[in-house]
Structure 1
Amino acid sequence: MPASAVPRQAIWLRRVAWAILVVGVVLRGVIWAQQRSLYLDEANLLRNFTERSYLGLFRNLDYEQYSPPLFSVLIKGCLGLFGNNELSVRLVPVLASMFTLGLFFRQTQRWLAPPVAVFVLSFLAFGKVFIDYGTVCKQYATDGLAALALIEVAYYVGRGRFGAREAAIWVLVGCTSIWFSMPTVFVLAGIGIWYLLEAWQRQQWRAVGWVLGTGLAWLLGFGVYYLLLLQTNVKSNYLQQYHHEMFLAFPPHNVEELQLLAKQVGELINKTVGKTALAAVLAILCFPLGLYQLLRRQRFLACVLLVPIAACLAASALHYYSLMSRLVLFMLPLLLLVLGYGAQWLARQHKGAAWGVAILGLVVLANQQQLRYLGQAFQSDYADVRSALEYVAQHQQPGDAVFAYYNVAPVARYYTQEHTPGLPLANLTLQEPGSLPTAQDPFANGLLMLQQQGVRRIWIVYDREDEGPAHLAAAQGNIVARYPVYRGYALLYESKATVPQ
């Protein structure tokens, strides 16, 4: 290959990377503008923001929700400025997702060869998990932004010298970031270790003191945060049970735990590069190579990428942090950079290996990308409850009751009582979580209570694809109308006779 072809190829690939960045940003904007229905956790989280003052956001939230206080303040601010609607409440996360993509573009261009940079950037730009959780009213997108932003600050601040100025910057940045995104403690651990190793190797003992002092300030800041907000959640039996299979099963003590560990590793691969055999081959081939090469050649990246990953996994093994996909979203860009570093080294060893990695990467990427949602409604992991409620509001007749069971009730409450404008649903029954003994069926009990009140026509909104409620309604009366929505449905049930009180 002529020497002049190399710059031309690099320029062409950089343009491709810019195109991927632009399309990725547009894709997020399009999905945000679609204003898809809120889901259960979003509705419960927003209820905290409407019921509390700004100061009230700096303590444990209600309705089984958690949110970093500074993130909560930003969302509540958007509610005050732009009203309570899907565009307003998701504005901060979608902007965070866009800026995350921009930072990742910058970092891949800096640390990876142009072909690999394009390949790795594409996964973040078009991967479903990044798009889905980058366009919902939760803190996961801001977790990713905070992680990459801290790494970017570390690249520029304190390289070669760490004194009072650098310590002051990092005390402010680090302690603030913890209140904005809890997983940043893992990233700060990697950054602190890198600064300490650099100062120690150069025998800059004053710098060692400043680094240790900065780390102590971070620990104190996190300690306050833990005591005020995390301690209750960490010790919650409900959360421990709910996340039981998402705590890293390491070290495995039996066959079942070994199988669970394999499943957990597979899920990390799935969320990073896709759920196919070829994706697993790509990850198993390139990630260990990237790990090895970073430890050998790149101390900075080894610290800021590998230490946060290891710290997160260690916290999970100790049952302090769940590996649920949305909670490790901050870590997935770091995994992609490690994987890209391994793919880059492998491709440089042999021309055949380069073509093999390229073809494998393209096949895996083609299966993972979500570009079709530029022209159609995005399909998330949650039901389109809003469309079902809108259908009921349009077709409800005088005397009709609407029954929202406990899983739908928070969303129904949001769209009827908090959203601007609210849906005009009359005679709405919201079933509160935990209001029934576990032995009772929530649907059967809810329908029975309405029948005892003399109601014959009952609208049911359901957020699953199974037919249990429909079969129950058909067994006790007639289904007058049914409206399917994505991953759910609404139906009008007319009982055969009212139940005497």
Structure 2
Amino acid sequence: MNFTSSFPSLTRDGLFSGSAVSPLWNVLAWLAMLLGAVLRLYQWWAGGSFWVDELALVRNIADRPLPQLLFAPLDYAQVAPPLFLFLQKVCWWLFGDSDRALRVVPLLASLALLPLMLAVARRVLDARLVPLAVLTLAISYEYVALGGQAKQYAGEVAAALFITWLCLRLQQEQTSLRWKVGAALAGVVVPLFAPAAVLVLTGCGAVLLGLAMRHQSAVARRETAGIVTVWAFGSLVALLWAHAVISPNTQRYLRWFWQEGFLSPNAHLPAELLHLLTDRYNKVFGWPRPHLWVWATVLGAGVLSWRRHTVALVLLAPWFVAIGAALLQQYPMQQRTMHYLLPSLTLCFFAGVEGLLVRVEDGAGRLFAAGVALGAAVPLLLSINAERLPPFQQQNVHPLYSALAQARRPGDAVYAYYGAGQSLLWYGPRLGLQPATYQLSGCHRGGGGSMRAYLRELDAYRGRARVWVVFVHGHGQEVPTLEAYLDAIGTRRGSRLEGRRRMPGPYYLPPPYAQLYDLSDTARLARASADTFSIPVVPANAAEQHWGCYGPHQALKSR
């Protein structure tokens, strides 16, 4: 399947085949991978406790027998691919239920994406730019953090790169029948580990089939059609499994939760896509003035399409499939659900730089070309700061609960905001906080005065001199309103106990903490009650009221 006879440097065997690699650029690329591996291992080791979204999946893995884990709808509005769940269950059997044990699979996937990025970059880029492409993923805060979260998203990035490499090799080289059979079977296994692989297989398979129809012999066309057919079968199996093991309620909840990630076919679509890309460049890569780099990436895609149109098709086809899926309301393009698409963007950006390198080498000479290559490193250098280095901790509640267990006296009351439910049920018994020792609040979302239900729950503690209040994973104005009410009717005692939170840039979730209150002062208690205290005016929202309490933060089982 060789469509690149005009590029003889792209026809060598091996995982890292591609353009000729000088020792210097090869060493730099491996150093970039080594740096990425060190960052990921450090994140895995020091990443702290699970946060609520991880716990919602982890509790399914720990509490269920394997058949029920794989073939029944998951609790807490969770969905995950079967092979990922199976491997997580194996880690739980072998290593126990520690934070690190249940992050081994994402860690390995995050480590694997580094050599996979190297393999793909060598087939796309000039050797001088390969280290920069690898370094982009190696130091990206989001990709480092994914390797320390007990979720499937790191696997989706690795799977997308693996499929891209398969497709490029099938496109660029004459491969053996055994290798083609292996490539076909990979299309059955990979979607069971990473659902987004279905979109990548669809795009890459369409490209391979289209090119085969135009350029290959009848025998080669049949081989390509066979590979793509097996990929289609694997994708269909993964889709049917996903449909069979998701409950109708969870399906409706996820459609509501990810509604902003679904696109609309209107005149604003280009601007919406531009906003998505700008947001991802800013938050995932941390490149300053991200809109400039987005336009540079678009230009790079054009350059790559002109110079190596078949390679450009392989990189960009999954994007068109993903956009189509989002337009059809089938798979969202937002935040972590589009991480698997971003490596192809970085390759397009550096392909644009490569096009410029070729022009200046022909004109201004190699010294100026070296300057252009160094200039391509500018956004990476500007993105590096202490804030974007691990460890990243979203809700490190373990030290908070440990301190609370030590500070709590016999007879102390503990009121826990419902966002703390998942973590208290998981970590509490290990630290001496049994469910009988605290009251978990209800979930009262939806606006229209629904927050008063929290205040009524707090009123049950009037007259008590020691009441601990625990806040984790606050939503909207709920926690500030509860704090204001407690300050009106009671007095804070001592410093608050805090969990750790370390994330780059502004983050929408406040750090978890616990505060001791004295609610025994009758004069202060007379100042307000649940029915008279002024609360923020929040318009009633039926969808929020219905689905806001259904998701992963709901500690009780929901389907």
What is the match of residue 279 of structure 2?
A: 267
| SS of residue paired to 1:307 | helix
Identity across matched positions, percent = 27
What is the match of residue 52 of structure 1?
A: 64
| SS of residue paired to 1:402 | strand
Matched, 1:137 2:137: no
Q: How does 1:331-410 map to 2 (within 5 A)?
A: 331-350=341-360, 354=369, 358=373, 361-369=376-384, 378-380=391-393, 382-410=394-422
What is the match of residue 91 of structure 1?
A: 104
Q: 1:197 aligns with which of 200, 205, 210?
A: 210
Mapped partners of 2:267, 2:462: distance in 1: 52
Matched, 1:476 2:489: yes
TM-score by length of 1: 0.85
Q: 2:433 aligns with which of 422, 425, 435?
A: 425
Contact 2:126/2:354 (8 A) holds in 1: yes
Contact 2:109/2:154 (8 A) holds in 1: yes
Contact 1:54/1:73 (8 A) holds in 2: yes
Letter in 2 for 1:289: L
Deviation at 1:468, TM superposition (A): 3.9
Describe the superposition over 1:50-69 as per-residue Cα deviations: whole angstroms up to 9, x where unpaired: 22221223243220111111
Letter in 2 for 1:31: Q
Contact 1:402/1:425 (8 A) holds in 2: no
| SS of residue paired to 1:330 | helix
Q: 1:298 aligns with which of 290, 298, 308?
A: 308
| SS of residue paired to 2:56 | helix
TM-score by length of 2: 0.77
Mapped partners of 1:290, 1:90: distance in 2: 36
Question: 201-210 or 63-72, which moves further after superposition?
Answer: 201-210
Name the structure, 1 or 2, with higher relative contact order (CA <8 Å, separation 6+): 2
Matched, 1:411 2:423: yes
- Computed over aligned residues only, the root mean square deviation of the Cα atoms, in angstroms, reads 3.4
Deviation at 1:202, TM superposition (A): 3.5
CA gap of 1:50–1:33, structure 2 versus 1, over 3 A, is same
Describe the superposition over 1:296-316 as per-residue Cα deviations: whole angstroms up to 9, x where unpaired: 333542233111111112211
Mapped partners of 1:36, 1:372: distance in 2: 17
Deviation at 1:274, TM superposition (A): 2.7
CA gap of 1:17–1:240, structure 2 versus 1, over 3 A, is same
Mapped partners of 2:335, 2:106: distance in 1: 16
Deviation at 1:92, TM superposition (A): 0.9
Q: How does 1:447-486 map to 2 (within 5 A)?
A: 447-449=458-460, 456-464=466-474, 467-481=480-494, 482-485=496-499, 486=501
What is the match of residue 41 of structure 1?
A: 53
Contact 2:119/2:165 (8 A) holds in 1: no
Deviation at 1:476, TM superposition (A): 2.0
Question: 406-415 or 123-132, which moves further after superposition?
Answer: 406-415
Mapped partners of 2:274, 2:102: distance in 1: 37
What is the match of residue 84 of structure 2?
A: 71
Contact 2:203/2:320 (8 A) holds in 1: no
CA gap of 1:445–1:24, structure 2 versus 1, over 3 A, is farther
Gaps of 5+ in 2: 1-20, 502-509, 530-559
Q: How does 1:42-191 map to 2 (within 5 A)?
A: 42-59=54-71, 60-156=73-169, 165=178, 168-191=181-204
Contact 2:199/2:321 (8 A) holds in 1: yes
Describe the superposition over 1:267-316 as per-residue Cα deviations: whole angstroms up to 9, x where unpaired: 23324543531x3212312x223322333333542233111111112211
Deviation at 1:129, TM superposition (A): 1.0
| SS of residue paired to 2:267 | coil
Deviation at 1:401, TM superposition (A): 2.8
What is the match of residue 515 of structure 2?
A: 491
Mapped partners of 1:383, 1:432: distance in 2: 20
Contact 1:126/1:368 (8 A) holds in 2: no
CA gap of 1:190–1:162, structure 2 versus 1, over 3 A, is farther
Matched, 1:242 2:252: no
What is the match of residue 5 of structure 1?
A: none
Mapped partners of 2:376, 2:456: distance in 1: 52
Matched, 1:13 2:25: yes
Question: 321-330 or 344-353, which moves further after superposition?
Answer: 344-353
Q: 2:221 aligns with which of 208, 229, 237?
A: 208
What is the match of residue 26 of structure 1?
A: 38
What is the match of residue 540 of structure 2?
A: none
Matched, 1:314 2:324: yes
Deviation at 1:219, TM superposition (A): 3.2
Q: How does 1:315-330 map to 2 (within 5 A)?
A: 315-330=325-340
Letter in 2 for 1:53: P
Question: 107-116 or 162-171, which moves further after superposition?
Answer: 162-171
Across the two proteins, how many residue pairs are aligned to each other? 481
CA gap of 1:342–1:458, structure 2 versus 1, over 3 A, is same
Contact 1:290/1:342 (8 A) holds in 2: yes
CA gap of 1:219–1:438, structure 2 versus 1, over 3 A, is farther
Contact 2:125/2:351 (8 A) holds in 1: yes
Deviation at 1:261, TM superposition (A): 4.5
Matched, 1:284 2:295: yes
CA gap of 1:18–1:275, structure 2 versus 1, over 3 A, is closer
